Amino acid sequence: MIDISQFRIAPGTRVDLSRHEPNSRKGFEGGKKDGKKALPGLTKTIAGLQRRLWAESEQSLLVVLQAMDTGGKDGTIRHVFRGVNPQGVDVHGFGVPTEEELAHDYLWRVHQHTPADGRIAIFNRSHYEDVLVVRVKELVPKEVWSRRYEHIRAFEEMLSHEGTTIVKVFLNISKDEQKERFEARLGEPDKNWKFRKGDLEDRALWDAYRAAYEDAITKTSTDHAPWYVVPADRKWYRNLAVSSILIETLERMNPQFPDPEQDLTDVVIR
Ligand code: AMP
Ligand code: MG
């Protein structure tokens, strides 16, 4: 486990991403090899906690993953949720909205995928795109996106009151690391499919995206839906960090196996 308090953005504090080191491996003694060796123990713990959540079926967990392109959202999901029962977990990616989605309010498509009792939902991108790409690319006027932080806070508070625990993770990579990962996508044939020329337009807007992230995280990190800024240049550390966040969160939720409906003590199977 890594101490996750170092990643947590206390409500009301102004986030300055230049003060969050993407290459950090703070709180872990050892290097890549040790880090990789430590992961299976954590994913096993997550799997055990998820089993209890599923059996209890009285509360749910929503994990929001956000990052710049190549930030590692897919890899995090693949590694961290390795051990869980697929029956209890829903992963949903939010891409460019469809015509139907655009004809509704921006939370409409999101609300349909929030987790039911006993389940974990993982958002690969989320309603935060509506104050990130939408803001940076000026897809709606400022007066429209600037009102959304308040909607989002209220929406997440409502979910939390109704039984959903929320954790939000920003995978923080450096601009240099992004360059290397894009180069890998170009250079390795089995990664070509992940590369879109449009991604480079977003890279050119790096500073505007960082500013949009700083605002979004600052304005929406709350006690009921905290943001964690996770150093993500080292994939192995990122995996340990996100696993630690999930374990601490699930342990706090403390799901319990339900008691059997009847007294089973004298049941004999013949
Ligand atoms: P990917 O995660 O690589 O599949 O890419 C999804 C794309 O959808 C990204 O370029 C996002 O910026 C874009 N996207 C997600 N949500 C929205 C939104 N609400 N409005 C516009 N673009 C979005
Ligand atoms: Mg992409």
Q: Is the CB of 205 under 6 A from ligand 1?
A: no
Q: Which segments of 10-169 does DSSP mark as H helices, in order?
A: 32-56, 73-80, 99-102, 108-111, 133-136, 142-145, 148-161
Compute mean pLDDT per 10 residues along the chain, 270 residues long, and list them: 97 97 96 97 98 98 98 98 95 98 98 98 98 98 98 98 98 98 94 92 98 98 98 98 98 96 89
Q: Which segments of 113-166 does DSSP mark as H helices, in order?
A: 133-136, 142-145, 148-161
Q: Which residue puts its alpha carbon closest to atom 5 of ligand 1?
A: 95
Distance (Å) of CA 16 to CA 13, 21, 49, 152: 9, 11, 34, 21
Place of tokens 């994913």: 43
Our mutation pick for probing the ligand 1 site, out of 101, 108, 125, counting the most ligand atoms within 8 A of Cβ, is 125
Q: What are the residue boundaries of the structural domains of the chain, listed by start?
A: 4-253
CB 27 within 8 A of CB 179: no
Nearest Cα to 237, choosing from 71, 36, 41, 5? 36
Q: Which two tokens stand for residue 114?
A: 């929030």
d(C-alpha 89, C-alpha 182), whole Å: 29
Q: What is the pLDDT of residue 264?
A: 87
Q: For the domain with range 4-253, which CATH number is right: 3.10.180.10, 3.40.50.300, 3.90.1150.10, 3.50.50.60? A: 3.40.50.300
Q: Is the CB of 12 under 6 A from ligand 1?
A: no
Q: Is the CB of 130 under 6 A from ligand 1?
A: yes
Q: Is the CB of 110 under 6 A from ligand 1?
A: no
Q: What is the pTM of this model?
A: 0.97
Q: What is the pLDDT of residue 12?
A: 94
CB 50 within 8 A of CB 250: yes
